[in-house]
Amino acid sequence: MPGVAALRPPRFDAAADEVARTAAAAPDWDALAATARECLACPELAAARQHVVVGDVPAQGRPRFALVGEAPGATEDQTGRPFVGRSGALLDELLAGAGLDRASGAVLNVVKCRPPGNRTPKAVEVARCSGWLRRQLELLDPPVVVALGLSAATWFLGARTVLGRVRGRPHEVDGRAVWATYHPSAAIRFGPNGAPRAGLAADLAAVADFLRRAA
């Protein structure tokens, strides 16, 4: 059984470095998307995927916000688009309920390829894919980020993040207001009367209010 140290990514990972340098060189979204679709940095994910799910962006202009999830699921892998399965349907419903227009935001994931069996992405996969997300955020420059679930919250707020302690208010990260909340899949798992669904709906409403005040 591997120890904790074996689960950590290596201190220097040539594949992560290569992704970061390639992503940083992308001059715009289209160039980044085209290059990311060819990415082979995580051999297990690259061998199993149907699509690299790069993300959705508004038809034009700067996104009002970016939603960032953990990784694509089966429907996302089949279609090549983020949050289009059951979780996506619930997310769309709750966004609409909060008065947020999905089309005015970007929809991204920390990891762009589906982990087999929907397992949690490994630390080394997150580290390798981080170069793409970092450059996406630089190019899109959303003023507000909504991190959906613990993996995304941890990516922005640090390894010791406890979702219940950080949600409900914005955190400034690199000049952006980062909100962390439940992943829609948790809202589905705990049912329509569960705390994650109510928390996600309340947090999206708070984000919508924050955006209205900032406008």
Q: CB-hemisphere CA count at 13 Å for 86? A: 7
Total residues contacting ligand SF4 by CB under 6 A comes to 16
Taking the C-alpha atoms of residue 160 and residue 85, their distance in angstroms, rounded to an integer, is 29
Which range touches ligand SF4 (CB under 6 A), out of 56-64, 96-104, 126-134, 144-152?
Answer: 126-134
Subset of 127-146 contacting ligand SF4 (CB under 6 A) = 128-129, 132
Least CB distance from residue 91 to ligand SF4, whole Å?
21
Q: Which amino acid is at 7?
A: L
Subset of 146-185 contacting ligand SF4 (CB under 6 A) = none
Using CB under 6 A, pick the residue from 20, 23, 113, 145 that binds ligand SF4: 113
Using CB under 6 A, pick the residue from 23, 41, 95, 146 that binds ligand SF4: 41
- The two structure tokens encoding residue 67: 């939603």
Subset of 1-30 contacting ligand SF4 (CB under 6 A) = 19
Backbone angles phi, psi at 144, to 5 degrees: -130, 135
Find tokens 């089949």 and name the residue: 78
For 106, other C-beta atoms within 10 Å of its C-beta total: 25
Element (H, E) at 113: none
Least CB distance from residue 178 to ligand SF4, whole Å?
21
Is the Cβ–Cβ distance between 145 and 161 less than 8 Å?
A: no
Using CB under 6 A, pick the residue from 20, 52, 137, 166 that binds ligand SF4: 52
Residues that bind ligand SF4 (CB under 6 A): 19, 36, 39-42, 45-46, 52, 111-113, 125, 128-129, 132
